[in-house]
Structure 1
């Protein structure tokens, strides 16, 4: 049995439940999905400022997941919040849902569009697309919706998401759509049927990639950038925790 920790780096438990459901839909029968809600940080992550406050809780959760026997971890935020720090800290594979989603989209489409939430969330994703070598293939759009409004059926958020997908197909000639927020994880299948093209959820993509790495016996390299840090005492939010 492979255990995969799905860490929601914000503190909204209802979003964790949505993420966990999406993960379990695609997980193999021999995979145990262990959802984790961060114990500290913002209620949602919508740009650089929120990311900074999410890091202590996220890193603590991933460290504890490895100690509890997780074979891999998924960071369920499309900003890939804390991804490099987490990979340097633990020895198990750590997957960011943005990187996973873009890699998956690249396998099935030449041009694709990421539809995310707010404008301040769009810019970090553009930088990630550049980092992952996808800037020439991926367009990034913001649907002008707050993350938590996705949970309110009366907010109109899902209609604005659909309208942005319509524009992406017409104006970007998108061959696939990537949902640029973990809070959208439950919408991929219905939107794919509705629009007649692949709609990719990063949570599901990350779970399958985590399973593949575990099956291949591959883990995070500890040479170069991800070399294991020297154990040292921490204060404040990470008091009592040191890298393995």
Structure 2
């Protein structure tokens, strides 16, 4: 199977993270699983904690999701804690689309009864909690603690030994311990770069038997499972009733005249 892993980082601004992510996914992928990591290349890719900048970048995410299906990928994995474009991509594509935040939350629910989140900064807090609410899991999140990484690209520096790495890992461990003290049974590093950094540093326990979830790997493994289910279900993994319903075929020609080449999996009548 082939998985498209979509990051919201600009590769030239995050070289250490990009390399670490590929190492991590290579170790975790099943035999026969191929993955391709794609970042943001046109505009942005360094400050998606701001809603307006996330919105700008999401256009490229959705275009890449369409490209992934056209190129024969079996699933799209959105590797950003905001799950940018998740619901829109699910509506558009005929292959499974999974998001980092949603997958992390659902996986954590299988690991423990209560969840603690460690966000990168104050700006991330509200955005992540919106996703928690969308997943219907507000009651399961008992603690949210903050690091102080206001300039997100500082996280890339932390992949090399030195004071930046020590400071950021120290902040995470302190925040994770605070989550445990408030009753969390599982801790999620709630930033895609941070979870890879923490995993590479070998931090898998927040104390008192509380696991630290490596959600980037959880996303990859969930993607593999979703693809297999999609195959077994005859391509019916994503519901087409309600939230992810697609336009009827007899309207698609009119919509394409107005919007361009949308919903590539829908065939126009008579074609």
Q: TM-score, normalised by structure 1?
A: 0.89
Change (3 A) 1:116 1:241: farther
Per the alignment, in what secondary structure is the counterpart of residue 141 of structure 1?
A: strand
In structure 2, the residue matched to 1:166 is: 177
- 1:188: which partner in 2? 199
- Tell me, yes or no, if the aligned pair for 1:100 and 1:206 is still in contact at 8 Å: yes
Q: Which deviations, in whole Å up to 9, do the C-alpha atoms of 1:38-70 show, x marking residues without a partner?
A: 222322321322211111111111111111111
Which position in structure 2 is the counterpart of 1:37?
Answer: 39
SS in 2 for 1:113: strand
Show the counterpart of 1:142: 146
Instruction: Return the match for 2:216 from 188, 199, 203.
Output: 203
Contact 2:187/2:212 (<8 A) preserved: yes
Residue range with higher mean Cα deviation, 11-20 or 88-97 = 11-20
**Deviations, residues 191-211 of structure 1 (Å, cap 9, x unaligned):** 115745311122211111111
Match of residue 269 from structure 2:
none
TM-superposed CA distance for 1:122, in Å, is 0.6
Give the Cα–Cα distance (whole angstroms) in 2 for the partners of residues 234 and 40 of structure 1. Answer: 24
Aligned residues: 238
Does residue 242 of structure 1 match 2:262? yes
Decide which moves more: 173-182 or 19-28: 19-28
CA contact (8 A) 1:18 1:185 kept: no
- Give the SS at the match of 2:237: coil
Q: Distance in 2 between matches of 1:100 and 1:22?
A: 17
Unpaired runs of 5+ in structure 1? none
Task: Please tell me the root mean square deviation across aligned C-alpha atoms, in Å.
Answer: 2.1
| Aligned partners of 1:100 and 1:205 also within 8 Å | yes
Aligned partner of residue 89 in structure 2, secondary structure: helix
Residue equivalent to 1:78: 81
Q: Which runs of 5+ in 2 are unaligned?
A: 231-235, 265-271
Which one has a bigger Cα radius of gyration? 2
- CA distance in 2 between counterparts of 1:177 and 1:193 reads 9
Q: Deviations over 1:203-229 (max 9, x none)?
A: 211111111111112532233221235
| Secondary structure in structure 1 of the residue aligned to 2:27 | helix
Task: Return the alpha-carbon distance in structure 2 between the equivalents of residues 202 and 241 of structure 1.
Answer: 33
Where do residues 102-117 of structure 1 align in structure 2 (5 Å cutoff)?
Answer: 102-117=105-120
